[in-house]
Structures are given as C-alpha cells and as structure tokens.
C-alpha cells in the first residue's frame, strides 16, 4: 500500500499535537484510514490515543533516571534514541492498514529538525512519500518581524529535512478575521509584508533573501478547535503527491 507520511512541525506550543488530532479526526470522518505516531517521549497527556508511541520504548522519566540528566538533556537523548527504534516504529506502522500516517513531533522544533535521528527515521519509513505540515504560531505571526522569523525557521526545516512542506497558520480561532487576512496576505504577496517591515537593515536583508529563494508560499489558515481548514490541508497533501506541481519545486 502507498502510505503518506505527514510530519507535524512547528515551534513549541504552535499546535502540532492538537492539529494531529483534528486532522486525524477529519480523515476518519471522510473514511480515510489513518494512524497517529507520537514521537514525543515527554508527552504527559495527549488529546488522542496514539497508535504508535515512542513512550512504549522510553519516556523522558526513564532517560533522566538512566542517564542521570535533567529534562533538557533527556529531551536531546530522547530525540537521538528515536533512530535506535526506527525499525520498531516502522514495523508497528506496517501492522496497520492505513494510508495516512500522521507523525506528531516533540514540542521543541529543533529536537526534530536538527537531530540526525530524524533523517534516519524519514529515510527508513519512506522519504519519497513524506512531507511536512509546518505550523505558524498565530500570536508570533501577527507582527511582521514575528512572521518573518517563523518563515526563516520554516526555511531552515525544509533546508535541513529536504521534504516538501505545506505551511499552515494554526489556531486561527484566536485571531480576529482581519488579523488572519493580514498574515495570509503577507504570505501571498511579499510586497505587502515589505511595506510593513519597519525598514531596519537586517529585516529587509532577511526579507530579500527569503523572497529571492522562493520561500514565500500561501499560508493555509486552520483551527484544531473548530476544524477549519482541514480540507485545505488534505488538498495540499494531494497536490504534493499527485498534483502537477513538481516536488522539487516544493522543496525549493
Ligand atoms: N484556541 C485554540 N487553541 C489551540 C488550538 N490548537 C492548540 N491549541 C492550544 O494550544 C496549546 C498548545 O497546543 P499543542 O498542540 O500542545 O502544541 P505543540 O507543542 O505544538 O504540540 C494547547 O494548550 C492547546 O489547547 C486551536 O486550534 N485553537
Ligand atoms: Mg505537542
């Protein structure tokens, strides 16, 4: 069966875990077989019950005890341990008859994007059938410099993981309608953002760099709370794998 692996990536608190649940629920409602993989050994309570869960093999607590480290060190060791369990994760996934594999990554984005372990997992599962849903935190995205910073981080994750990416603006239910429109406009038309940047040297330099590299892409507004935008994520996924657009172009 052709599986599609969807990695949820974004800064801590951007809504990865709740979007994982909401998107899984939407797929199930549409009778599209899907499973959820939790890669966060530090997850205490999850709004969903994961079908595959790294905590089956190790938790943050275990690591702190076994390695004599604090929570931060344990997070890093946990991220590195994922590669040692990559085959087990793959085996468990393959026991399910699911086309969509939604992968919830650890809270701190760099634990996934910067560790070599993630590349091992992506390659082992199926790099060619993998993509990222990158979440823009709504509160950070509201200001021009915040938006530009998140765009920069999204570029860094694409550069590092070399996977196609769908950018979403998460939790839009907490923004005013005009705020959503404004941020989405920046993503559609970089000149709109340019006009609002305060004209400081560095942000202008950064702006030009990201625009020239083709990093600006239309943001999909979504809300795990209301279910808004789930169909647009689905359409985005279809476009990545079955659309006319060349995958290479989506990877920049
Ligand atoms: N209002 C609202 N809150 C959300 C939404 N998605 C997540 N949250 C809240 O934002 C916080 C962080 O979300 P979470 O999914 O755990 O973020 P993660 O660290 O990226 O996994 C939680 O307290 C959620 O209740 C949403 O769509 N709307
Ligand atoms: Mg989470």
Sheet harboring 220-221: ordered strands across?
A: 52-53, 34-38, 100-104, 4-10, 130-136, 165-169, 220-221
Q: How far is the CA of 146 from the centre of ligand 2 (A)?
A: 21
Asked if residue 225 has its Cβ within 6 Å of ligand 1, the reply is yes
- The Cα–Cα gap between 244 and 111 comes to 33
Residue nearest to atom 11 of ligand 1 (CA): 13
Q: What pLDDT does 203 receive?
A: 82
User: Domain residues of the chain, as ranges?
Assistant: 4-35+97-237
Question: Residue 133: nearest ligand to its CA?
Answer: 1
Kindly report the number of other CB atoms within 10 A of residue 238's CB atom.
11
Predicted pLDDT of residue 27: 98
Q: Whose CA is nearest to atom 3 of ligand 1?
A: 171
- Pairwise CA distance, residues 170 & 94, whole Å: 30
Round to whole Å and give the CA distance between 186 and 195: 10
Q: How many CB atoms lie within 10 A of CB 135?
A: 28
Fold of 4-35+97-237: Rossmann fold (3.40.50)
Which of 30, 141, 33, 39 lies closest to 81, judged by CA?
39
Q: Are 86 and 124 in contact (CB under 8 A)?
A: yes
Q: Whose CA is nearest to atom 14 of ligand 1?
A: 15
Mean pLDDT per block of 10 residues along the chain (252 residues) reads 95 97 98 98 96 97 97 95 97 97 95 93 97 98 94 92 96 98 96 84 85 91 98 96 64 52
- Alpha helix ranges (H) inside the chain: 16-29, 60-67, 71-81, 86-94, 109-113, 116-126, 138-141, 144-161, 177-188, 190-196, 201-212, 230-242, 247-250
User: Is pTM, for the whole model, over 0.85?
Assistant: yes
The 8-class DSSP code of residue 108 comes to S
- Contact 17 CB / ligand 1 (< 6 Å): yes
């Amino acid at each position: 069966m052709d599986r599609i692996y969807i990695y949820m990536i974004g800064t801590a608190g951007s809504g990865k875990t709740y979007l994982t649940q909401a998107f899984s629920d939407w797929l199930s409602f549409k009778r599209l077989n899907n499973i959820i993989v939790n890669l966060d050994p530090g997850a205490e309570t999850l709004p969903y019950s994961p079908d595959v869960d790294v905590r089956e093999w190790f938790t943050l607590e275990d690591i702190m005890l076994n390695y004599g480290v604090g929570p931060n060190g344990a997070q890093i060791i946990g991220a590195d341990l994922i590669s040692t369990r990559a085959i087990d994760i793959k085996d468990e996934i393959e026991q399910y008859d699911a086309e969509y594999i939604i992968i919830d990554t650890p809270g701190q984005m760099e634990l996934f994007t910067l560790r070599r372990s993630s590349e091992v997992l992506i390659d082992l599962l199926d790099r060619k059938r993998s993509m990222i849903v990158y979440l823009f935190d709504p509160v950070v995205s509201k200001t021009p410099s915040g938006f530009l910073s998140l765009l920069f981080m999204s570029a860094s994750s694409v550069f590092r993981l070399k996977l196609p990416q769908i950018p979403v603006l998460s939790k839009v239910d907490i923004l005013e309608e005009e705020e959503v429109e404004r941020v989405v406009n920046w993503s559609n038309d970089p000149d709109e953002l340019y006009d609002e940047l305060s004209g400081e040297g560095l942000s202008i330099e950064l702006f030009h760099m990201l625009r020239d590299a083709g990093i600006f892409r239309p943001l999909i507004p979504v809300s795990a709370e209301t279910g808004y935008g789930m169909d647009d994520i689905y359409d985005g996924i279809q476009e990545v794998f079955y659309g006319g657009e060349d995958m290479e172009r989506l990877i920049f």
